[in-house]
């Protein structure tokens, strides 16, 4: 009687444990990673920074340039792949080449040094492959009639999500008036950065990616 009871107990334990092992395997499945393509639009706000303050007073230093752009409220058919939906992202790029730290450079549409970096994309129900980007011939232009400083960020995507697609930023106006931004160059500390895309508190900046 004792031997039969032991065998029965062993069978009972196996029957209980088996479903638990199967359930644990299903729970450990990793979320999918996707590489996106197709058309999207996002709101865009950001900041351009200089390694040396720009000045109007005897500029004599070499400065690198960097940008960080927050991309929000992304929509369009290119935001979806299977269960994954893109919602937002961040572009970070910087230059290795330098420019003279003269304030006139960012108000006269003079091309800035080429910047390289990535757009890190975020979304739901999975992960999204980043985009390797090049920002070439970025500019700042002082529109005296509108008293706005327009930032231009011609951007191309080399690899990753949206590779080879046409990428266009627009509405990247400085948050403060062009006069206030450029007058900082005459101050003791010079101009260290230019926030853009949200003048007067309303977002005007946008990113459009088409094709794919």
- Per-residue pLDDT tens digits for 62-105: 999 999 999 999 999 999 999 999 999 999 999 999 999 999 99
Report the pLDDT value the prediction gives residue 19, as an integer from 0 to 100.
52
- Per-residue pLDDT tens digits for 180-193: 999 999 998 999 99
**202 pLDDT tier (thresholds 50, 70, 90):** very high
The DSSP bridge partners found for residue 202 are: none
Residue closest to 73 by CA, chosen among 161, 212, 203: 203
Neighbours of 78 (CB within 10 A): 21
Neighbours of 76 (CB within 10 A): 15
Residue closest to 164 by CA, chosen among 78, 66, 60: 78
Residue closest to 156 by CA, chosen among 171, 129, 138: 138
Tokens of 53: 């303050």
CB-based contacts of 71, cutoff 8 Å, min separation 6: 42, 43, 44, 88, 89, 90, 91, 119, 207
């Amino acid at each position: 009687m004792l031997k039969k009871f032991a065998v029965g107990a062993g069978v009972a334990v196996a029957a209980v444990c088996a479903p638990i092992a199967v359930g644990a395997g299903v729970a450990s499945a990793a979320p999918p990673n996707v590489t996106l393509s197709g058309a999207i639009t996002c709101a865009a706000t950001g900041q351009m920074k200089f390694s040396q303050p720009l000045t109007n007073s005897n500029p004599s230093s070499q400065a690198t340039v960097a940008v960080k752009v927050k991309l929000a409220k992304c929509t369009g058919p290119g935001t979806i792949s299977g269960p994954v939906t893109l919602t937002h992202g961040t572009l970070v790029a910087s230059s290795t080449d330098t420019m003279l730290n003269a304030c006139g450079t960012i108000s006269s549409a003079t091309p800035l040094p080429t910047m390289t970096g990535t757009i890190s994309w975020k979304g739901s129900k999975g992960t999204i492959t980043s985009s390797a980007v090049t920002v070439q011939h970025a500019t700042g232009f002082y529109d005296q009639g509108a008293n706005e400083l327009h930032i231009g960020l011609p951007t191309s995507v080399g690899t990753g999500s949206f590779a080879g697609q046409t990428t266009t930023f627009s509405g990247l106006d400085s948050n403060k008036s062009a006069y206030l931004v450029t007058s900082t160059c005459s101050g003791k500390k010079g101009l260290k950065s230019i926030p853009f895309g949200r003048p007067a508190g309303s977002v005007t900046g946008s990113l459009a990616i088409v094709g794919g």
